[in-house]
Structure 1
């Protein structure tokens, strides 16, 4: 399955993943961890352990500060 991953305000990746791959697997393919980003499908967050069911996703980097 080919997936377009748009890292908001940064870059876009075209990723090929196996059937049954999770959103965590997708993040790993673009060198991000689930602890540093949120994955959105149609504007709604999806769990990292859910199988990828969309051909386009957005990744939003989380900002931490103090």
Structure 2
């Protein structure tokens, strides 16, 4: 299954996942940790253990790199 992922503020990427993939699998396929990002479907966050049921999502990064001064 191919899913188009719009990473908010960073662009879009199409990711291939297994038919039984979860939204957590999708986050990991984008090389983010489960603590770093969340998936939105129709503007609503979805649980990381829920099965992927759509071919288009938005990914919101919750943590980005930066400096601690």
Q: TM-score, normalised by structure 2?
A: 0.86
RMSD: 1.6
| Residue 47 (structure 1) shift | 0.2
Within 5 Å, give how 1:1-66 maps onto structure 2: 1-63=1-63
Give the CA deviation at 1:27. Answer: 0.9
Residue segments in structure 1 that go unaligned for 5+ positions in a row: none
Query: How many equivalent residue pairs?
Result: 65
Larger CA deviation: 10-19 vs 55-64: 55-64
Q: Distance in 1 between matches of 2:9 and 2:52?
A: 22
Alpha-carbon deviations, 1:5-57, whole Å to 9, x = none? 00000021101111110011111111011101111000000000001001000
In our comparison, the structure showing a higher alpha carbon Rg is 2
CA distance in 2 between partners of 1:16 and 1:34 (Å): 18
Instruction: Compute the displacement of 1:63 (Å).
Output: 4.2
